[in-house]
Chain A
Amino acid sequence: MSFLNYLVSGLSLGSVYAIIALGYTMVYGIAKMLNFAHGDVIMIGSYVCFFAVMRYNMNPFLGVLIAVVLCTLLGITIEKLAYKPLRSAPSLAVLITAIGVSYFLQNTAQLLWTPNPKVFNSIVGNGSVQLGALSVSYVTILTIAACVIIMIVLTMFINKTKMGKAMRAVSEDKGAAQLMGIDVNRTISTTFAIGSGLAAIAGVLLCSAYPTLTPTTGAMPGIKAFTAAVFGGIGSIPGAFLGGLLLGVIENLAKAYISTQFSDAIVFGVLIIVLLVKPAGLLGKQTREKV
């Protein structure tokens, strides 16, 4: 397999990381909290789509739509029940709650759907396009395309709409935003809704590319995507996109040319070096601490 093939499979993996990282980074950027349950919302989304398509024989795109709607509702519910009461609590308390929610979702899924893995059939079939020596599967094309579209739409949403403006304001200064008449709670809920909807799409794409579905499916990619978000500069949407892609490409190239045994060590080694040089991540905003 040529360098180009490794690159494409790295981009495919990276795009999945990037879509998940977009969800992490949005919530962090606006609500200033790490939603560690994000990976598990992905898992729930995949299960919903799995049951819609495999059990009830729905059209795959209808299945994705249902997954997005349900995950959005789930995201809003989680935010209302678990995070909103802690709005003024120290961020550590919210972090621990998020980990709690993550375990809660994993175990609920295990009770509902048993821990036995399920094989998720790709929503676009298993075919691939042949470009010379390069073969690119439909799933890869779909994942990369979806990732780019989502990134552009999100950036436009944040920069052009009224809600986006409110989000940026809340992100800069919660107190001041409230004084200006922005409904902070509603803004944060919307952020969660968007993040969770994205999680559903990420879940479907993740499971289409790597088709084993278990209650812990979301956990590891979630951690990787979080790394990607930090890599690119947490809080920055283009940063999450770039971080995700780079993480996937570095991981695959390290496996291909250096060693499969050390690929993780190499990925995280690169992360450490980047953070030493640019502590806020690749595209993160450098903010000076006021003393």
Chain B
Amino acid sequence: MKTKRILALLMAVLMVIGLAACGESKPAEPAADGAAEAIKIGATGPLTGGAAIYGMAVKNGATIAVEELNAKGGMQIAFNMEDDTHDPEKAENAYNALVDWGMQLMMGTVTSSPAEVTSADAYADRYFFLTPSASSTNVIDGKDNVFQMCFTDPNQGSGAAQYIAENNMAKDVAIIWKNDDSYSTGIRETFTAKAAEVGLNIVADVTFTDATATDFTVQIAKCQEAGAELVFLPIYYTPASLIFSQASTTGYAPIWFGVDGMDGILTLEGFDTALAEGVYVLTPYSADADTALNKNFVEKYQAAYGEIPNQFAADAYDCMYAIYAAMEKAGITADMSHEEICEAMVAQFTSMTFDGLTGSNMTWGADGAVSKMPNAVIIKDGAYVGM
């Protein structure tokens, strides 16, 4: 009995010490590193797991930007990306690891569900937060220091409906969406609302979940029976690849219309890109854009990683440059605390205009959402072609 009590006491003491250590390390570390050191920018994203293609693209894009910026010789950046495997719980750990590292601002979390967790932390702890690609509105809602480089999901949905109607692509439209995923449901909701407004008929509205993401024959058949000329796919590319191959065996060939989650389908190993021929993707970035900025980026990316950069890589590259521009204007130095940096950056982001790979004249509202124009690209001969 007595030993138990002593043990409990010991545990309690250890826990208190542990907590105290946690509290201390935050402000202490940046100061210890000295003023002339690099500014520490942290990020979390899926570097392993099913969504790793997005995390890796962000890491690669950001790394290229950091190398270019550091080569300028001025303000130096140290970039550290922790793996969250697209899992909200692991994102929390990854965030804490970054805080222990001495992070001063955050270039976001790559995917939406984990970003909802880390952005809430960053809001409470006052770290400036700019995500390249977490597009759910829950990420920015009610958080003054959280910004997005990508469109919010609602924008993607209504943007897609608008685009389809404006270009007279189809009248009868079907949707195949994933009803256990906040990204997919978010886009589908605004798409449906906008579709009613612009006079598109939604003739079929079918779903799948993680557990049923293998067999799509029924969903495809329902779209076909309903006579849909266009099928809207607010989903990621992995299930989309299955849908394309299963539709091809039944001989159904509508216009397929995807959003940014479709990005990645062309680099899927072993995928017959002919199946994705003619697929429309609503994305703010296409790698074949004919600008000096983009050509430089694509060349460097290909040399370093052996593949064509996707939208996530471009978003990350833009994030780094936008942060750098804002930091320069605000006169941020490496010895400032993350709270000071946060306030200065929020002031900059709500007032500045930024030109990057994924759009020109980008501005941010106080709600954290970006305003830029989406473009549709079409897949031709295994590559994205701008419209």
Contacts and interface: CB of A to CB of B under 8 A. Distances in A.
A1 B220 CA distance: 10
Interface in B240-284: 241-242, 245, 248-250, 268-272
B201 interface: no
A5 to B, nearest CB: 7
B208 A260 contact: yes
Contacts of A6: 218, 221
B217 interface: yes
Interface stretch (A111-119, A185-193, A232-240): A111-119
B209 interface: yes
B48 interface: yes
B242 A211 contact: yes
Interface string B14-32: 0000000000000000000
Interface stretch (B49-57, B156-164, B192-200, B323-331): B49-57
A118 B208 contact: no
A117 B238 contact: yes
**Residue with the highest number of chain B CB atoms closer than 10 Å, among A1, A50, A121, A260:** A260
Nearest to B252: A1
Contacts of A5: 217, 221
Nearest to A255: B218
Nearest to A259: B207
A6 B137 CA distance: 38
A13 B215 contact: yes
Main secondary structure of the interface of B (DSSP, over half): helix
Given A1-B224, A115-B48, A116-B268, A264 B211 contact: yes
A137 B215 CA distance: 14
A5 B241 CA distance: 22
Interface in A195-217: 206, 209-212, 214, 216
B225 interface: yes
Contact of B242 (A50, A210, A221, A256): A210
A9 B218 contact: yes
B214 interface: yes
Nearest to A221: B214
B112 interface: no
A87 to B, nearest CB: 33
B50 A256 contact: no
A54 interface: yes
A210 B215 contact: yes
Contact of B206 (A117, A220, A221, A260): A260
A245 to B, nearest CB: 14
B83 to A, nearest CB: 11
A261 B204 CA distance: 13
Contact of B49 (A110, A120, A212, A260): A110
Contacts of B53: 116
Contacts of B209: 264
A256 B269 contact: no
Contact of A211 (B210, B211, B245): B245
A118 B53 CA distance: 12
Contacts of B179: 261
B300 interface: no
B212 interface: yes
B171 interface: no
A128 interface: yes
Contact of A135 (B50, B225, B250): B250
Nearest to A16: B214
A97 interface: no
A111 to B, nearest CB: 8
Contacts of A159: none
A210 B219 contact: no
**Max chain B C-beta neighbours (<10 A), residue from A12, A206, A224, A255:** A255
Interface in A128-175: 128, 135, 137
A119 B218 contact: no
A115 B50 CA distance: 6
B217 to A, nearest CB: 4
Contact of A13 (B207, B208, B214): B214
- Which of A5, A54, A116, A263: most chain B CB closer than 10 A? A116
Contact of B270 (A9, A121, A206, A264): A121
A209 to B, nearest CB: 8
B214 A118 contact: no
A192 to B, nearest CB: 26
A1 B221 contact: yes
Contacts of A121: 270, 272
B301 to A, nearest CB: 17
A110 B48 contact: yes
Contact of A126 (B211, B217, B224, B249): B249
B222 interface: yes
A221 B218 CA distance: 18
Given A255-B219, A260-B206, A263-B212, A119 B272 contact: yes
Contacts of B241: 117, 119, 211-212
A55 to B, nearest CB: 10
B238 A212 contact: yes
Contacts of B221: 1, 5-6, 256
A252 interface: yes
Nearest to A121: B270
Contact of B207 (A9, A119, A137, A260): A260
23 contacts: A1-B218, A9-B215, A9-B217, A115-B48, A115-B50, A115-B52, A117-B50, A118-B268, A118-B270, A119-B268, A119-B272, A120-B270, A135-B249, A211-B241, A214-B238, A220-B211, A224-B211, A255-B218, A255-B219, A260-B218, A260-B219, A261-B179, A261-B207
Which 8 pairs from chain A and chain B are nearest by CB? A1-B221, A119-B270, A210-B214, A119-B271, A9-B217, A255-B218, A115-B52, A260-B206
Given A209-B214, A212-B239, A261-B179, 11 more contacts: A1-B221, A1-B224, A5-B221, A13-B214, A119-B268, A119-B269, A126-B248, A212-B241, A251-B212, A255-B212, A260-B206
Interface of A: 1, 5-6, 9, 12-13, 50, 54, 110, 114-121, 126, 128, 135, 137, 206, 209-212, 214, 216, 220-221, 223-224, 251-252, 255-256, 260-261, 263-264
